[in-house]
Amino acid sequence: MNPLLELINHGQSYWIDNLSRHMIVSGELKKRVTDEGLRGITSNPSIFDKAITKSNDYDGQIKELTKVGNNVKEIYDALTVKDLQDACDILRPVFEESEGLDGFVSLEVSPYLARHTTETMDEARRLFKAVNRPNCLIKIPGTKEGAPAIEQMLYEGININITLLFSIQNYENVARAYTRALERRLKEKKGIGTISSVASFFISRIDVLVDELLQHRIIPGGDSRKYKKASDLLGTAGIASGKIAYQSFKKIFSGPNWEKLEKAGARVQRPLWASTSTKNPNYSDVMYVEPFIGPSTVNTMPEQTIAAFADHGKIVPDSVEENLEAARTNFGQLAELGIDIDYVTQRLEDEGIQKFIEPYDALLKNLEEKSQKFQ
């Protein structure tokens, strides 16, 4: 069996980390759903920048919107909302078949709002209403400022994909924000069975930065025994972080308090493994898929990782539970070498926000240029 199709038998759904109008109109997306087991989609400003600026697929709608006087931000909203609606409709059978567990498509709030709670809530409400599909997830960064917005939006019944999670603490914060939102709704006798959320924990970016810092501790051509500790830790921090986060997930979504919510119809907030493409060519191209198979999880992969796993991926049941002792000692070993994981994750969060701001700005600039041609 295709390893992708087998994932669902082990409690994991695979989503694609990409969305474009070409995927929608060409039938590619529907084929992935009906024939290849795709169960969801994630998007972000970088993905839309590539989709819109590197094709002419959106020019007709841009021209129409320009002629009726829409500004650049309104054009961006209209383009992305249209793609989200169409993608949600294609995924709707998955949403219904899974009784609301899968079949979701994610749309992110402006990256400029990552440090602004109230403005994030306003935008989340606006986008969720604009898409007007039950299988839409609004993406909100799991920053200190984003956490209260996440809780409030879930309380209001808006499905949320929490993004840019790098630290265990931030993951635990947003997982508890989810349970608090459900508890608030249950206390007020509001339904909780239709509230959905995933928490996107970013994996490979952790290794990119930690490996860079580890390389600073290794002298090329030096005594390999002397620098063995640093060498042995290369490519381990991301996997360790994800495995520890999964243990936190199991703890938070168990026990009497959670069982009360579950009895009332609540479903768990699944960990979603994000940033799962391998950045280092010396590492396996399925390095961030094979170790993270386990119940109640999602792995969102770019197309090349999906193809690689379909071709030669290995299914190890509950692999996310393996090598826990090594995962638990990883941060301490890094600390012995002067690498502070809290520094790493905060820096990655800040850089992650910037990595979305830059393509967002580039896209708006490109839309401005295109709209001027159509005036």
- Render pLDDT for 256-306 as a digit per residue (tens, 0 to 9): 999 999 999 999 999 999 999 999 999 999 999 999 999 999 999 999 999
Give dist(CA 11, CA 44) in Å, integer: 25
Structure tokens at 53: 């600026």
Assigned CATH for 3-204+239-321+349-374: 3.20.20.70
Q: Which of 50, 67, 73, 139 is catalytic?
A: 139
Alpha helices in the chain (DSSP H): 3-7, 21-25, 28-36, 45-53, 59-67, 72-97, 117-131, 146-155, 168-187, 204-215, 228-232, 237-252, 255-263, 303-312, 324-336, 341-374
User: In the prediction, which pLDDT does 288 show?
Assistant: 98
Q: What is the mean pLDDT of residues 216-220?
A: 89
Partners of 191 in the β-ladder:
none
How do the domains of the chain map onto residue ranges?
A: 3-204+239-321+349-374
- Per DSSP, the residues of 31-77 read HHHHHH---EE---HHHHHHHHHT-STTHHHHHHHHHTT--HHHHHH
- Render pLDDT for 157-196 as a digit per residue (tens, 0 to 9): 999 999 999 999 999 999 999 999 999 999 999 999 999 9
10 Å Cβ neighbour count for 208?
A: 15
- 254 has pLDDT over 80: yes
189 is catalytic: no
Task: Decide: 143 and 179 in contact? Cβ < 8 Å.
Answer: no
- Mapped onto helix, strand or coil, the DSSP state of residue 223 is coil
User: In the prediction, which pLDDT does 43 show?
Assistant: 95
- Per DSSP, the residues of 295-356 read TTEEEEE-HHHHHHHHHH----TTGGGTTHHHHHHHHHHHHHTT--HHHHHHHHHHHHHHHH
pLDDT band at residue 332, thresholds of 50, 70 and 90? very high
- 223 has pLDDT over 80: no
Give dist(CA 192, CA 260) in Å, integer: 12
Cα-Cα-Cα-Cα torsion 55, 56, 61, 62, nearest 10 degrees, comes to 80
User: In the prediction, which pLDDT does 220 show?
Assistant: 83
Q: Taking the mean position of all CA atoms in its chain, how far away is CA 65?
A: 30
